[in-house]
Homo-oligomer: A and B are copies of this chain.
Amino acid sequence: MVIFVDMDEVIADTYGAHIEVYNKDFNENLTLDFFHGSEAWHKVPKDRQQSVRDHARNRGFFRNLKPIANGQEVLKKLSEKHEVYIASAAMQFPNSLEEKSEWLDEHFSFIPWENRILCGHKHILRGDVLIDDRSYNLKTFEGRSLLFTSPHNVNTTGFERVNNWLEVADKLL
């Protein structure tokens, strides 16, 4: 089985980093609960929205993300049985490309370079499973689509949902 796994919000805690950087920049103490059901940049005051959107263009932002809980253990087991690929729509942020490669070297070294994909549209992927937090990626995938829960997609319906990596393990291992 060929399994594609998105990076941001699926194996890497990008949302958490947005909040952390925002709190530091504006001396705030917002927590994840506050962002429930929306994009990080939608919930903050209008004059701070561009600042949050621009996090992704900052050098170091993607390099220092924390791994999402249990992703490493579950993907390690999955990759022993299946062909696991990391597929991130990273081409939008050229500054992120090398950082993402280094981040994978550090946290997912068992996924070799041959199994890493930095792309844009994901409907060009041929395989059996796609685990992603974005419905527009899942919608066009030909195989089984799993919506990985993130604060911004909690109200999205119409997809098979996984709330965390232990639920992925239940379904695929």
Footprint of B on A, CB under 8 Å?
2, 4, 85, 91-92, 94-95, 97-98, 101-102, 112-121, 123-127, 142
- Can you give 10 contacting A-B residue pairs, CB < 8 Å? A4-B124, A85-B121, A85-B124, A94-B98, A98-B98, A114-B121, A115-B121, A117-B117, A119-B119, A125-B125
Residue of B98, B102, B116, B120 touching A116 (CB-CB under 8 A): B120
Interface secondary structure of A, over-half rule: mixed
Q: How many Å lie between the Cα of A94 and that of B90 in the bound state?
A: 13
Residue of B97, B121, B125 touching A118 (CB-CB under 8 A): B97
Residues of B within 8 A of A98 (CB): 94-95, 97-98
A120 touches B126 (CB 8 A): no
Q: How many Å lie between the Cα of A93 and that of B129 in the bound state?
A: 27
B121 touches A92 (CB 8 A): no
Minimum C-beta distance from A166 to chain B (A): 26
Residues of B within 8 A of A127 (CB): 124
A-B complex: 3 closest residue pairs judged by Cβ atoms: A114-B120, A126-B126, A97-B97
Residues of B within 8 A of A4 (CB): 124
Closest residue of chain B to A95, judged by CB? B98
Minimum C-beta distance from A61 to chain B (A): 14
A124 touches B125 (CB 8 A): yes
Residues of B within 8 A of A101 (CB): 91, 94, 97
